[in-house]
Structure 1
Amino acid sequence: MWKIKKLGLLLCCLLFLSLPAAGFCTDTTTAQEPQTVSVPLTQWNSLNSQINQQWTIIAQQEEISAQLRSKLNLLSQNSTEQVQTLTTLDNQLTACKSQLVTVQTQLTTAQSSLTNSMQVLNNQKQTLQQNEILLNQLTAEIKQMEHHASVLQRQRDMWAVVAIGLTGYIVHEKI
């Protein structure tokens, strides 16, 4: 932006330096009789045309200077808009980076939670397998105890029949 301003100032300075120096070299001494110079008409006409050409060149240079000033202003405005856009984009980038850090932190936390959950799940699977083994063992023991109980009941029933038979035999013999 400063380069553009410096370029504009340099162009303005060059324009003012290129102006004819005729108006700047006036005599500042007190009143003397005006001096007159005799010049042939052809030289006068040539000098007059050169002056007119110089005035035309000055007008063209002033027009170019005005165009350059307007272009410089336009560039300055565009530069200001671009700086504002760049600042806005930089702020958005900073916000995105902040969000990225937050998301990365959340992902790390989620990964840690997932790892812990997997460990808990594996522990629960092992406990479930151990409980299943214990259940099978208890089921086998219950079946064995039921079998033992049914054997004991049959033996008791058998002894009851034997006792009734003996009692009936003894009672029948005594009668």
Structure 2
Amino acid sequence: MWIKKLGLLLCCLLFLSLPVAGYCTDTTTVQEPQTVVVQLTQWNKLKETINQQDMTLTTLQTKLNLLSQNSTGQEQTLMTLNSQLTDCKSQFNLIKTQLANATISLNQAEQALQQNEVLSQTLTKQIKGLEHKISVLQRQRDMWAAGCGILVGVVIHDKLV
């Protein structure tokens, strides 16, 4: 907004100086200096107006410099923030990649655990089957031993009698 006002003021001053520039180009030949008679009050009012405009221009220039400095500071801040944003994005992508790799590893571990569970169940069934066979074989052995013991006792009893 201040920049627009400063530009408008500079345009007005340029337009005011155009007649002076035309006058200067028209007086390329040496002529007697012309004098203008002005009342003292008008002269003082003109000087005061010129001084006010000069102070206004100085103030506007100072404000423009301040705005330019603020703009430069904001640009630097924006560049810093953009740099930080780029860093955050790269770290996010790295974490995202690591998370994807961890998810893959977790899925592989779950599959391995499921396979191990299936193998464990199969092994448990085989162990129970073997334990059953062993107990059946032990019973058969005991039955054969008892049967042989009885047979030997009968044979010995028949020979004694």
- With the shorter chain as reference, the TM-score category is 0.7 to 0.9
1:163 aligned counterpart, secondary structure = helix
The alignment status of 1:131 with 2:86, answered yes or no, reads no
1:75 to 41, 60, 75: 60
1:140 and 1:149, CA in 2 relative to 1: closer, same or farther beyond 3 A?
same
Distance 2:104 2:11 in 1: 70
Structure-2-length-normalised TM-score: 0.77
Distance 1:13 1:61 in 2: 15
Which residue of structure 2 lines up, in the alignment, with residue 150 of structure 1? 135
**Paired residue type of 1:127:** A
Instruction: After superposing the two structures, state which structure 1 stretch, 3-12 or 78-87, moved more.
Output: 3-12
Equivalence map 1:17-166=2 (5 Å): 54-166=39-151
Which residue of structure 1 lines up, in the alignment, with residue 28 of structure 2? none
Distance 1:8 1:85 in 2: 27
Equivalence map 1:8-23=2 (5 Å): none
- Residues 27-58 of structure 1: per-residue CA shift (max 9 Å, x gap): xxxxxxxxxxxxxxxxxxxxxxxx5x622111
Which residue of structure 2 lines up, in the alignment, with residue 46 of structure 1? none
**How high is the sequence identity, in percent, across the aligned residues?**
34
CA positional deviation for 1:130: 1.0
Please say which structure displays the higher CA radius of gyration.
1
**Paired residue type of 1:91:** Q
CA positional deviation for 1:89: 0.2
1:55 and 1:11, CA in 2 relative to 1: closer, same or farther beyond 3 A?
farther
Distance 2:81 2:46 in 1: 51
CA positional deviation for 1:174: 2.6
Instruction: After superposing the two structures, state which structure 1 stretch, 122-131 or 164-173, moved more.
Output: 164-173
Number of matched pairs: 143
CA positional deviation for 1:9: 7.3
CA positional deviation for 1:93: 0.3
Output the aligned Cα RMSD: 2.9
CA positional deviation for 1:4: 8.3
**Mind listing any 5+ residue stretches in structure 2 that lack a counterpart?**
22-32
Structure-1-length-normalised TM-score: 0.71
